[in-house]
Structure formats: C-alpha cells, structure tokens
Amino acid sequence: MRNAIRVTSGILLVLFGGLACAQNYPSRPIRLVVPYLAGASSNDVLARAFAPRLSTALGQQVLVENKPGANGNSGSEFVAKAPADGYTLLVGVNGPIGISPSVYPKLTYDPVRDFAPIGMLASVPYVMLVKPDVPANSIKELVALAKSKPGQMNYASTGIGSTPHLCSAMFAVATGIDIVHVPYKGGAAIQTDMLGGQPIEIHCSGIVGSIGIFKAGKMRALAITSAKRSPLLPDLPTMQEAGVPGFEAASWAALLAPGKTPPPIINLLASEMTKVLLSPEFGEFLRKQGSAPTVMSPAELADYIKVEIAKWAKVVKATGIEVQ
C-alpha cells in the first residue's frame, strides 16, 4: 500500500511540476534550431519568417540557431537530447525525421520516441523535371522511354538519402523502371550540369527553385508530386493524375520539441503556432514558397510522421539505399 502511495505521489509531482512549468512559460528566450546552414535551405528561410511571428505571439524572443551536419541529423540529435522544458525547439524536416531512420543504421535518435510533435509548418511539393531533349512530354512517355533503355537514363539528387533521391527512387519502384542515381552536393550544380549537356535526364526538384527554369523552356516539367495541384502551377498534373497511383512526396517542415516536454507547453505552442499559420501575412508568405497553411494538431502530426517513416522505409528496402 505504501509503495502504491509513493508511486501515485511521484506521478502527481511530475504532473503538477509540468503544470507549474507551463504556467510560467515562456519566461526567457526560446531557441529554434534549424539543422542546416544559415541561408542554405528553404527551411532556414521558413524558420526566419516564422520565428519573429511566434515571438510576438508568445511575448518572448524566438531565436533561430543553425546546427548543420550529417544531412540534418546533427541538429535533430541536439534537440532530441536537449532539456524538455520548451526552450529548445526544432524545425523538424522530412529528411532527418522521416527518411534518416531507414538510411542511417547508426542513427542516434528515434524520431517517434525522442520528439514531441507540435504542428506542421509547411509542406512543399517537388516537380519531376526532364531535359528538353528527352523525348517525353508526359510521365507515361517517360516511363515507356526508360523501359525501352533500362539502366541508360540518369537521375540527379542533392545527395544519397535526400528527399529528391528518395522521390526519384520511389518513382522508379512504382513504375518498374531502371534508372541510375547520380548524387550531387546541391541543386545549383544539378541545374548547371543538366543545362550544360551532361547525361542527367531526370531530376525531382523543389517547386520554387525550378519554376523559372522550366517557364523559360530550359527544362520540361511533367508532373508535381503533391496529392493536389499547386496554385503556382495549376496546369501541371499531379503524379497520380499522370498515371502513378498513390504517389506523393513533399519537402515538409514541422515544429518539434524534445520528447518529454510537458503537454501543457506543447498545447500552448500548438495554439500560438496555429494563430501564426492562419494569419493572412504568413499565409501569403507560404503561398510564395509553393505551400499553403497546413494546420495539424500534435496528435495528427505524430500520426503523419509515423506514416512518412513507414512510406520511405518501403522505398529504402526496395532499393537498398544506405548511408554509413
């Protein structure tokens, strides 16, 4: 009986401690960790647009802090192991959160166990591009062309295990084609080589960074990877409309906290985050980035992350992709 009383008392102390913490939260600046170099990714741009708005909503400074390394895994690990007090948050990206568990056998954090989801920040689709001299004006024609010359067509990505890599790999698995991966260190180098005549025929590219290229006729866009058409490119079919059932891939970013952060703090952050997302000003910013406000509760985001991990795990298993 005494043991039961001690256990109950311990649980109550944890609960009331969390409530007391939340009542005073936030009482000092919050750091928002971006797991990439400053200015080197759309996620950094997103964080720097979001942080001052969240600062205003919370009445405390939200400071962006860049912690790059290991394709986003280093910064993600840093937050996973930070104190669970709501003062260290992560811009959790699909690469280190959704894909890394499958391609890094020695990953030092668990995206489900070690993070407390708060809400979705943005989800931006990719565009399937081909060079103008590729004789394919649709996804079906591209698939037929690739099947006629197995192992002879190349696709570029921004690195092994990156979302553009997995996007094209998923396309290959879904359509039964044999195309060869050529990894690069960045999107600019891919565009230079594709436009310069190098044998890179296919690229799954971010929508914002590629709009100008294919509107200028330097590349041909065959489909967009979102479930719905983009307002930025209303005439471009989705991959599903183009003949690849169930195909969906996006570069997403979510707000995450260390795993044992008290629920009252998570709920407060989720509530204030939603207000920012639904503000006309931030909504317009997202639309210019090729996204739209996507409100998810912490529970909905938790489910979404699990689905993403399972989806990419199937692609990785089918292709044998692994990063040491």
What residue spans define the domains of the chain?
Answer: 2-124+251-319, 126-224
CB under 8 Å to 12, separation ≥6 — which residues? none
**Is 265's pLDDT higher than 60?**
yes
> Rounded to an integer, what distance in angstroms lies between the CA atom of residue 86 and that of residue 26?
8
- Locate 82 and state its tokens: 């930070």
> Rounded to an integer, what distance in angstroms lies between the CA atom of residue 185 and that of residue 163?
13
Neighbours of 38 (CB within 10 A): 14
**Residue 157, CB-side half-sphere exposure with 13 Å CA sphere:** 18
- How long a stretch of residues is the chain? 324
Which CATH fold would you assign to the domain 126-224?
D-Maltodextrin-Binding Protein; domain 2 (3.40.190)
Domain 2-124+251-319: CATH architecture, name and number where available: 3-Layer(aba) Sandwich (3.40)
Tell me whether strands 202-206 and 154-157 are parallel, antiparallel or unpaired. Answer: parallel
Dihedral sign from CA coordinates of 265, 271, 276, 277: positive
Q: Mean pLDDT throughout 202-211?
A: 87
**Residue 53, CB-side half-sphere exposure with 13 Å CA sphere:** 19
**Is 20's pLDDT higher than 70?**
no
Q: What are 136-189's pLDDT values in tens digits?
A: 999 999 999 999 999 999 999 988 888 899 999 999 999 999 999 999 987 788
Q: What is the CA radius of gyration of the chain?
A: 21
Before 237, cis peptide (omega within 30)? Answer: no
CB under 8 Å to 37, separation ≥6 — which residues? 44, 66, 68
- pLDDT of amino acid 288: 85
For 202, which DSSP code? E
**Residue pair 206/124 in contact by the 8 Å Cβ criterion:** yes
The secondary element (H helix, E strand) that includes residue 157 is: strand 154-157
**Is 40's pLDDT higher than 80?**
no
**Is 279's pLDDT higher than 90?**
yes
Which of these, 176, 162, 150, 245, lies nearest to 205 by C-alpha position?
Answer: 162
| Window from 41-50, 255-264, 284-293 with minimum mean pLDDT | 284-293
CA dihedral 251, 221, 320, 303 (to 10 degrees): 30
Strands (E), 36-114: 62-66, 88-93
Same fold, 2-124+251-319 and 126-224: yes
- pLDDT of amino acid 282: 95
Q: Mean pLDDT throughout 251-258?
A: 96
CB under 8 Å to 142, separation ≥6 — which residues? 128, 130, 134, 136, 202, 222
pLDDT confidence band for 3 (50 / 70 / 90): low
CB neighbour burial string for 47-57, b if at least 16 within 10 angstroms, e if fewer: bebbbebbbeb
Dihedral sign from CA coordinates of 220, 222, 225, 229: positive
- pLDDT of amino acid 323: 78
pLDDT confidence band for 215 (50 / 70 / 90): confident
- pTM (predicted TM-score): 0.87
> Rounded to an integer, what distance in angstroms lies between the CA atom of residue 20 and that of residue 257?
18
Q: What is the mean pLDDT of the chain?
A: 90
For 225, which DSSP code? -
> Which residue type does 197 have?
G
